[in-house]
Amino acid sequence: MDERVLAEVGAAAQAVERRLGISRREFMQFCAATATTLGLGASGSAAIAQAVQAARRPSVIWLHYQECTGCSESLLRAEHPTLEKLILDTISLDYHETLMVAAGHQAEAARKTAMQQNKGQYVLVVEGAIPTKDGGIYCKVAGHTAVDIVRECAADAAAVIAIGSCASWGGMPSTDPNPTGASGVAQVLGKPVVTIPGCPPNPYNFLATVVHFLTFGSLPAVDPLGRPLFAYGRIIHEHCERRAHFDAGRFAHAFGDEGHRKGYCLYKLGCKGPETYANCSTIGFGDVGESNWPVACGHPCIGCVEQGIGFTKPIHATAQLKGMSPPASYPKVVEQQGQTGFAAAAALAAIAGAAAGATAMLTKNLGQRAAQPRSADKPAAREER
């Protein structure tokens, strides 16, 4: 970064420091974290800092339908004191049914005003599935069906974002037999929209998408399902902290068993990480003292982001392994405790060089970790990152 950019970024940080009462350091950390989430480098972080400070906050109209409000909760109940402040400072939340003070006619007037004053420029965020059966009568606000309101609001929006699995593809309310015809936003509008699935979704993915819009004037690249590639381009299993246990054949077989307490792989408890595309394993969320995610808490991934898996496949059915197969044989149980059996020792002895040494050390370290008593909610591998 050259000196001029550094000075501009410094001025941006100072302005935000005054406005939000957060430290310059926290603001810069936010910009760096967002740039990292988006897969951008240091220059991306600087561009974000400038854009967040300088840009006119985009008007956001946030609609709620069939859901639990977990998406909003996940955004606003973050432990980091800065996250919700930054969200509310980065966007102008002009209509949000569960957060706004206004009610009834006042609330409807706020929505209409925001739409008129920001015609063609506002961002429409939809949370929750939209019931389409029987003329959409299963969800009405101010006498209008959710279908009609979404179509009305989307008509003049600069961008439409479906947040959560419900709005992305129907989510939990669309579970068979789907009595209300719960559908995603794209289905209702008949055109693709950006989707941030997850139940609830990772708030950093939403924030990074909005910041991308703010910084570059466009939405990030998406896959055919409308999911930003920076967040949903890789399978969870590829970067899971328990992956070494999967590869070594160390599994939890029941909740609370020895393997579960030691932080072994949750595949046999039904973890859908091997068939689910998301960045949960790399960008933690659901702050409980530190960034976290379901598998780190000791629960198998249920594939909540993935249509056809989350709320469809039984939670404890084993996942389909995409693009990989498990090892043909596994070490015996005694070898899992850090001891080397005859067969493994013979195999190791046959391997020469630094690579073999590194592998042996990794195996040994995992064994030692596994041998220590641990609580079920703190997997061994997480501490080794």
Residues that bind ligand F3S (CB under 6 A): 198, 236, 276, 278, 280, 293-295, 301-305
Contact 220, 212 (CB under 8 A): yes
CA distance 153 to 147: 10
**Stretch binding ligand SF4 (CB under 6 A), from 216-224, 271-279, 329-337, 349-357:** 271-279
Instruction: Select the residue whose beta carbon is closest to ligand FSX and give its number.
Output: 70
Residue 195 binding result from ligand FSX, ligand F3S, ligand SF4, none, given CB thresholds of 5 to 8 Å by partner type: none
Q: Is the dihedral of CA 262, 264, 267, 268 positive or negative?
A: negative
CA distance 195 to 189: 13
Closest distance to ligand SF4 from the beta carbon of 295 (Å): 5
Closest distance to ligand FSX from the beta carbon of 285 (Å): 12
366 lines the binding site for ligand SF4 (CB under 6 A): no
Closest distance to ligand FSX from the beta carbon of 372 (Å): 35
The verdict on whether omega for the bond into residue 177 sits within 30 degrees of 0, i.e. cis, is: yes
Closest distance to ligand F3S from the beta carbon of 287 (Å): 14
Point out which residues bind ligand FSX (CB under 6 A): 67-71, 127-128, 164-167, 171-172, 199-200
149 lines the binding site for ligand SF4 (CB under 6 A): no
Closest distance to ligand FSX from the beta carbon of 214 (Å): 23
Q: Say which residue the tokens 């961002």 belong to.
A: 123
Q: Which of residues 82-141 bind ligand SF4 (CB under 6 A)?
A: none
**Stretch binding ligand SF4 (CB under 6 A), from 79-87, 214-222, 237-245, 282-290:** 237-245
Residue 293 binding result from ligand F3S, ligand FSX, ligand SF4, none, given CB thresholds of 5 to 8 Å by partner type: ligand F3S
Instruction: Select the residue whose beta carbon is closest to ligand F3S and give its number.
Output: 301
Closest distance to ligand SF4 from the beta carbon of 286 (Å): 16
Q: What phi and psi values does residue 194 have, to the nearest 5 degrees? A: -75, 135
- Separation of CA 233 from chain center: 12
Q: Which of residues 156-215 bind ligand SF4 (CB under 6 A)?
A: none
Rounded to the nearest 10 degrees, how much is the dihedral formed by the CA atoms of 232, 38, 205, 301? Answer: 40
265 lines the binding site for ligand SF4 (CB under 6 A): yes
64 lines the binding site for ligand SF4 (CB under 6 A): no
CA distance 210 to 161: 9
Residue 294 binding result from ligand SF4, ligand FSX, ligand F3S, none, given CB thresholds of 5 to 8 Å by partner type: ligand F3S
The residues, ordered by sequence, that sit 6+ positions from 330 with a Cβ below 8 Å of its Cβ are 248, 249
Residue 237 binding result from ligand SF4, ligand F3S, ligand FSX, none, given CB thresholds of 5 to 8 Å by partner type: ligand SF4
Closest CA to 193 of 66, 63, 332: 63
When the beta carbons of 199 and 295 are compared against ligand SF4, the nearer one is: 295
285 lines the binding site for ligand SF4 (CB under 6 A): no
Among 123, 211, 240, 248, binds ligand SF4 (CB under 6 A): 240
The residues, ordered by sequence, that sit 6+ positions from 101 with a Cβ below 8 Å of its Cβ are none
List the structure tokens of 264. 């072994």
Contact 277, 305 (CB under 8 A): yes
Residue 128 binding result from ligand FSX, ligand SF4, ligand F3S, none, given CB thresholds of 5 to 8 Å by partner type: ligand FSX
Q: Say which residue the tokens 């590869």 belong to.
A: 247
Closest CA to 187 of 270, 272, 37, 65: 65
Closest distance to ligand SF4 from the beta carbon of 241 (Å): 7
CA distance 245 to 380: 10
List the structure tokens of 132. 């389409």
Closest distance to ligand SF4 from the beta carbon of 38 (Å): 23
List the structure tokens of 15. 């302005």
User: In Å, what is the CA distance from 67 to each residue of 36, 72, 166, 325?
Assistant: 30, 11, 7, 36
Among 140, 243, 299, 382, binds ligand SF4 (CB under 6 A): 243
